[in-house]
Amino acid sequence: MASIHDVAKEAGVSVATVSKVINHYPDVSEKTRKKVKNAIELLRYRPNVIARGLVTGRSWTVGVLINIPFTNPYVSMLLEGIKTALENSGYDLMRLSARLNDPGYSFVDHCQSRNLDGVVVFGVEKDHHSIQELIESGIPTMFVDMDATGQRAGNITTENRNGVHMAVRHLYELGHQRIAYLAGVPGQPVNESRLAGYRDGLETSSIPYREDYVVNGDYSYDSGIQGMRMLLQLDQPPTAVVCTSDMAAFGVIHAIEAHGLSVPGDISVVGFDNIYEAELFKPGLTTINQNIHAIGVKSIEELISMIKSAEYPPPVVTEPSSLVIRESTARYSEQ
């Protein structure tokens, strides 16, 4: 089995230079880096992870805690972005399970016992005791869709408020005045931001806000069905609905069609996320695109930057959103 000394001899460089290439240090010329990589491939050298950790003081492993079912398409797209960012980084990924309902459980102890270099967190309530404990621990952390920060903790989200604003304006420009909103979980930062965007859209369109046109849900398909059933029971049902997620929008469309109505003939529907299924769904779903894959990639890139340097400022990143128009929205025509 080849050693690091064999690689250094084959590449004509020092052992320290080989170590720098393996550990992705930037102060190595591209020419030297290529020579070392060629030598590694030729000799089929595989670094000893334990020895590498002893030298660098790192485990070369980051954890991801996602407190949402992995069957959710958003989660699979986010993980794909995380995987893409890790492929050439030298880091491995560990999926973390945390007993968040156990008040005596310490998520920080969970991370430290596995000697994780950093962690990405998504889907945990901001006021959960484990979040503040994590922030205070100094473990490099990136929160996704959560406005938590700390000395070693940053966050990344999308333009939630502006995204829903665009959705409402799109429907207004199609002639809709009775525009409802299927919201997420009250109190969650993402939900509050998107709800504010809904109200912004109504205000700039001179449409009065109606409390009965806002129904809370939990971003799921079933909550879309239940929320739309409530809206259909109103004396004056909406002619258009903006949903806080694509999965909820699919449920909304199901409820509308089960009621004997059509989308977009009777009611227009807009989602949020632009998951893969949005384009394949019938009718094709008009939605707010957030680049979920890019969020996954960026969360890891920023996390690794924090791991590599204690001086790297905790990032607060906002990815742009955009409107993707498909077949689920149409011009309003009075019946």
Q: What value does the mean pLDDT of the chain take?
A: 88
Q: What is the CATH number of the domain that holds 34?
A: 1.10.260.40
Asked if the structure places residue 174 within a domain, the reply is yes
Region 150-168: mean pLDDT is 95
3-state class (DSSP) for residue 57: coil
Check whether residue 206 and residue 284 sit in a common domain: yes
The predicted pLDDT at position 100 comes to 66
Identify the CATH number of the domain in which residue 73 sits: 3.40.50.2300
Q: Which residues span the domain enclosing 118? A: 61-157+292-318
Q: Domain tally for the chain?
A: 3
Residue 119, both tokens? 């962690």
CA distance 5 to 321: 50
pTM for the full model? 0.78
- Whether the pLDDT of residue 230 is over 90: the answer is yes
Statement to judge: residues 81 and 18 lie in one domain: no
| Range with lowest mean pLDDT among 184-188, 251-255, 261-265, 306-310 | 184-188
Residues 182 and 238 placed together within one structural domain of the fold: yes
Query: Following DSSP, what letter does each residue of 97-145 receive, concatenated?
Result: ---TT-TT--HHHHHHHTT-SEEEEES--TTSHHHHHHHHHT--EEEES
β-strands 153-158, 141-144 pairing: parallel
Asked if residues 152 and 118 have their Cβ atoms less than 8 Å apart, the reply is no
**What per-residue confidence (pLDDT) applies to 119?**
92
Q: Which amino acid is at 297?
A: V
Asked if residue 272 and residue 129 are part of one domain, the reply reads no
325 within domain boundaries: no
Residue-level pLDDT at 50? 45
| 94 and 178, same domain (yes or no) | no
Query: For residues 222 and 212, what is the distance between their CA atoms, to the nearest angstrom?
Result: 19
On whether both 296 and 286 belong to a single domain, the answer is no
Q: How confident is the model at residue 300 (pLDDT cuts 50, 70, 90)?
A: very high
Residue 90 inside a domain? The answer is yes
Query: Is 323 among the domain residues?
Result: no
Could you tell me the CA-to-CA distances from 51 to 44, 46, 47 in Å, in that order?
18, 12, 8
Greatest CA separation found in the chain?
82
Claim to verify: residue 47 and residue 99 sit in the same structural domain: no
Q: Are residues 69 and 29 in the same domain?
A: no
Residues 172 and 276 in one domain: yes
197 vs 9 pLDDT, higher one = 197
For residue range 80-116, list pLDDT tens digits in order: 999 999 887 878 888 877 666 777 767 788 787 778 8
3-state DSSP call for residue 65? strand
> Quick check: 224 pLDDT over 80?
yes
Tell me which of 34, 56, 78 is where a domain ends.
56
Pair 73, 175 in one domain: no
When comparing pLDDT for 16 and 157, which is higher? Answer: 157
Q: Ranked by mean pLDDT, which of 12-26, 139-153, 168-182 comes out on top?
A: 168-182
**Does an H or E element contain 298, and which?**
helix 292-308
In a domain, residue 41? The reply is yes
pLDDT of 237: 96
Domain assignment present for residue 335? The answer is no
- Tokens representing 213 are 């046109």
Is residue 186 in a domain?
yes
95 and 145: one domain? yes
Do 70 and 153 reside in the same domain of the chain? yes
Give a yes or no: residue 334 inside a domain.
no
Question: Is pLDDT at 76 greater than 60 in this prediction?
Answer: yes
| Residue 55 pLDDT > 60 | no
